[in-house]
Amino acid sequence: MDHVISSLSDLNDPDPEVLRAEENAQASHSLRRALVVLVADDLYTSGEDTDRLVTELLHEDGFTVDAVVNVESTRIDIRQAIETAVVGGADLVITVGGVGVGPRDKAPDATRSVLDMILPGIAQALRSSGLACGAVDACTSRGIAGVSGSTVIVNLAPSRAAIRDGMATLGPLVHHVIDQLRRG
Protein backbone atom coordinates (compact mmCIF):
# COMPACT_ATOMS: atom_id res chain seq x y z
CA MET A 1 0.00 0.00 0.00
CA ASP A 2 1.61 3.26 -1.12
CA HIS A 3 -0.51 5.64 0.91
CA VAL A 4 -0.84 5.06 4.64
CA ILE A 5 -3.25 7.01 6.81
CA SER A 6 -1.25 8.20 9.80
CA SER A 7 -4.13 9.77 11.71
CA LEU A 8 -7.83 10.48 11.51
CA SER A 9 -7.03 14.00 10.31
CA ASP A 10 -5.60 12.46 7.11
CA LEU A 11 -9.11 11.31 6.28
CA ASN A 12 -10.30 14.92 6.22
CA ASP A 13 -7.25 16.42 4.49
CA PRO A 14 -7.63 16.03 0.73
CA ASP A 15 -4.78 14.48 -1.18
CA PRO A 16 -2.80 17.22 -3.01
CA GLU A 17 -2.95 15.17 -6.22
CA VAL A 18 -6.73 14.98 -5.98
CA LEU A 19 -6.91 18.74 -5.41
CA ARG A 20 -4.70 19.38 -8.45
CA ALA A 21 -6.85 17.11 -10.60
CA GLU A 22 -10.03 18.91 -9.47
CA GLU A 23 -8.44 22.32 -10.12
CA ASN A 24 -7.33 21.19 -13.59
CA ALA A 25 -10.83 19.91 -14.37
CA GLN A 26 -12.35 23.24 -13.27
CA ALA A 27 -9.75 25.19 -15.23
CA SER A 28 -10.34 23.14 -18.36
CA HIS A 29 -14.09 23.79 -18.09
CA SER A 30 -13.46 27.54 -17.89
CA LEU A 31 -11.28 27.39 -21.00
CA ARG A 32 -13.89 25.74 -23.18
CA ARG A 33 -14.75 27.65 -26.32
CA ALA A 34 -17.91 27.52 -28.39
CA LEU A 35 -19.22 28.93 -31.64
CA VAL A 36 -22.91 29.35 -32.43
CA VAL A 37 -24.17 29.06 -36.01
CA LEU A 38 -27.66 30.48 -36.60
CA VAL A 39 -29.13 29.06 -39.77
CA ALA A 40 -31.26 31.66 -41.59
CA ASP A 41 -34.57 31.13 -43.37
CA ASP A 42 -36.02 29.55 -40.28
CA LEU A 43 -39.40 30.62 -39.01
CA TYR A 44 -38.43 30.47 -35.33
CA THR A 45 -35.12 32.34 -35.39
CA SER A 46 -36.27 35.41 -37.27
CA GLY A 47 -37.03 38.34 -34.99
CA GLU A 48 -36.04 36.56 -31.80
CA ASP A 49 -32.91 37.10 -29.76
CA THR A 50 -31.85 33.49 -30.22
CA ASP A 51 -28.19 34.48 -30.30
CA ARG A 52 -28.40 36.02 -26.84
CA LEU A 53 -30.33 33.05 -25.42
CA VAL A 54 -27.85 30.45 -26.68
CA THR A 55 -24.88 32.58 -25.61
CA GLU A 56 -26.27 33.01 -22.08
CA LEU A 57 -26.97 29.29 -21.74
CA LEU A 58 -23.47 28.41 -22.96
CA HIS A 59 -21.92 30.88 -20.49
CA GLU A 60 -23.95 29.30 -17.68
CA ASP A 61 -22.50 25.95 -18.71
CA GLY A 62 -18.90 27.17 -18.61
CA PHE A 63 -18.24 28.04 -22.25
CA THR A 64 -16.76 31.19 -23.72
CA VAL A 65 -18.60 32.03 -26.93
CA ASP A 66 -16.11 33.10 -29.57
CA ALA A 67 -18.77 34.22 -32.03
CA VAL A 68 -22.34 33.91 -33.20
CA VAL A 69 -22.44 33.49 -36.96
CA ASN A 70 -25.53 33.93 -39.12
CA VAL A 71 -25.53 31.84 -42.29
CA GLU A 72 -27.93 31.10 -45.09
CA SER A 73 -29.52 27.67 -45.04
CA THR A 74 -27.23 26.19 -47.67
CA ARG A 75 -24.95 23.22 -47.19
CA ILE A 76 -21.88 25.15 -48.23
CA ASP A 77 -22.48 28.12 -45.90
CA ILE A 78 -23.25 25.93 -42.90
CA ARG A 79 -20.29 23.66 -43.64
CA GLN A 80 -17.89 26.60 -43.98
CA ALA A 81 -18.98 28.04 -40.63
CA ILE A 82 -18.50 24.68 -38.92
CA GLU A 83 -15.12 24.06 -40.58
CA THR A 84 -13.91 27.53 -39.54
CA ALA A 85 -14.78 26.76 -35.92
CA VAL A 86 -13.05 23.36 -36.08
CA VAL A 87 -9.88 24.83 -37.59
CA GLY A 88 -10.05 27.65 -35.02
CA GLY A 89 -9.97 25.14 -32.16
CA ALA A 90 -13.51 25.51 -30.81
CA ASP A 91 -14.50 22.79 -28.36
CA LEU A 92 -18.17 23.01 -29.31
CA VAL A 93 -20.22 24.19 -32.27
CA ILE A 94 -23.96 24.58 -31.82
CA THR A 95 -26.06 25.07 -34.94
CA VAL A 96 -29.57 26.39 -34.42
CA GLY A 97 -32.24 25.88 -37.07
CA GLY A 98 -32.39 24.12 -40.39
CA VAL A 99 -33.07 20.69 -38.86
CA GLY A 100 -36.61 19.99 -40.06
CA VAL A 101 -37.90 18.22 -43.14
CA GLY A 102 -38.43 21.26 -45.34
CA PRO A 103 -36.50 21.88 -48.54
CA ARG A 104 -34.35 24.59 -46.91
CA ASP A 105 -33.42 22.48 -43.85
CA LYS A 106 -29.78 21.65 -44.59
CA ALA A 107 -27.99 21.73 -41.20
CA PRO A 108 -27.86 17.93 -40.59
CA ASP A 109 -26.61 17.27 -44.12
CA ALA A 110 -23.92 19.94 -43.89
CA THR A 111 -22.89 18.75 -40.44
CA ARG A 112 -22.68 15.10 -41.44
CA SER A 113 -20.23 16.01 -44.21
CA VAL A 114 -17.64 17.33 -41.72
CA LEU A 115 -17.94 14.71 -38.97
CA ASP A 116 -15.29 12.13 -38.20
CA MET A 117 -17.73 10.26 -35.98
CA ILE A 118 -21.43 10.51 -35.19
CA LEU A 119 -22.69 10.50 -31.59
CA PRO A 120 -26.26 9.23 -32.01
CA GLY A 121 -26.96 9.15 -28.26
CA ILE A 122 -26.74 12.93 -28.00
CA ALA A 123 -29.21 13.51 -30.84
CA GLN A 124 -31.52 10.87 -29.35
CA ALA A 125 -31.34 12.53 -25.93
CA LEU A 126 -32.24 15.91 -27.49
CA ARG A 127 -35.26 14.44 -29.29
CA SER A 128 -36.42 12.57 -26.20
CA SER A 129 -36.11 15.55 -23.87
CA GLY A 130 -37.72 17.75 -26.52
CA LEU A 131 -40.74 15.47 -26.58
CA ALA A 132 -40.93 15.51 -22.79
CA CYS A 133 -40.95 19.33 -22.67
CA GLY A 134 -43.41 19.74 -25.54
CA ALA A 135 -40.93 21.11 -28.09
CA VAL A 136 -42.37 19.43 -31.18
CA ASP A 137 -39.58 20.77 -33.40
CA ALA A 138 -36.96 19.14 -31.17
CA CYS A 139 -38.81 15.83 -31.20
CA THR A 140 -39.15 15.78 -34.99
CA SER A 141 -35.68 17.18 -35.67
CA ARG A 142 -33.28 15.50 -38.10
CA GLY A 143 -30.46 17.10 -36.11
CA ILE A 144 -27.31 15.12 -35.49
CA ALA A 145 -24.33 15.34 -33.16
CA GLY A 146 -20.77 14.23 -33.60
CA VAL A 147 -17.08 15.04 -33.53
CA SER A 148 -14.85 16.64 -36.13
CA GLY A 149 -11.22 16.63 -35.06
CA SER A 150 -11.47 17.64 -31.41
CA THR A 151 -14.67 19.68 -31.82
CA VAL A 152 -18.12 18.51 -30.76
CA ILE A 153 -20.86 19.64 -33.17
CA VAL A 154 -24.56 19.57 -32.29
CA ASN A 155 -27.64 20.62 -34.29
CA LEU A 156 -30.47 22.15 -32.26
CA ALA A 157 -34.05 22.83 -33.26
CA PRO A 158 -34.81 26.56 -33.22
CA SER A 159 -37.78 27.08 -30.89
CA ARG A 160 -37.03 28.68 -27.53
CA ALA A 161 -38.31 25.56 -25.75
CA ALA A 162 -36.05 23.32 -27.86
CA ILE A 163 -33.06 25.57 -27.22
CA ARG A 164 -33.60 25.83 -23.46
CA ASP A 165 -34.28 22.14 -23.00
CA GLY A 166 -31.59 21.12 -25.47
CA MET A 167 -28.92 23.17 -23.75
CA ALA A 168 -29.89 21.73 -20.35
CA THR A 169 -29.66 18.22 -21.78
CA LEU A 170 -26.39 18.90 -23.61
CA GLY A 171 -24.32 20.27 -20.73
CA PRO A 172 -23.15 17.09 -19.02
CA LEU A 173 -23.02 15.11 -22.27
CA VAL A 174 -20.84 17.61 -24.11
CA HIS A 175 -18.50 18.15 -21.17
CA HIS A 176 -18.05 14.38 -20.92
CA VAL A 177 -17.19 14.08 -24.62
CA ILE A 178 -14.80 17.06 -24.50
CA ASP A 179 -13.06 15.53 -21.48
CA GLN A 180 -12.61 12.29 -23.43
CA LEU A 181 -11.26 14.13 -26.47
CA ARG A 182 -8.77 16.09 -24.36
CA ARG A 183 -7.47 12.93 -22.70
CA GLY A 184 -6.76 11.37 -26.09
* Buried-exposed string 169-183: b where 16+ CB fall within 10 A, e elsewhere: bbbebbbebbeeeee
pLDDT of residue 16: 57
Residues 6+ apart with CB under 8 A from 103: none
Query: How much is the pTM?
Result: 0.82
Is there a domain that residue 18 lies in?
no
CATH number assigned to the domain comprising residue 144:
3.40.980.10
pLDDT, one tens digit per residue, over 142-162 is 999 999 999 999 999 999 999
Predicted confidence (pLDDT) at residue 141 exceeds the cutoff of 80: yes
For residue 178, name the pLDDT band (cuts at 50, 70, 90): very high
Is there a domain that residue 129 lies in?
yes
Give rounded-to-5 percent helix, strand, coil for the chain.
Answer: 50, 20, 30
More confident residue, 74 or 25: 74
Report the domain count for the chain. Answer: 1
Domain that holds residue 116: 33-183
Predicted confidence (pLDDT) at residue 8 exceeds the cutoff of 50: no
Is there a domain that residue 40 lies in?
yes
Predicted confidence (pLDDT) at residue 170 exceeds the cutoff of 50: yes
For residue 15, name the pLDDT band (cuts at 50, 70, 90): low
Residue of 159, 68, 162, 178 whose CA lies nearest to 123: 162
Q: Name the DSSP letter for residue 19.
A: H
Predicted confidence (pLDDT) at residue 112 exceeds the cutoff of 80: yes
Give the residue-averaged pLDDT of 5-25: 48
Query: In whole angstroms, what is the distance from residue 143 CA to residue 106 CA?
Result: 10
Is there a domain that residue 169 lies in?
yes
Is there a domain that residue 37 lies in?
yes
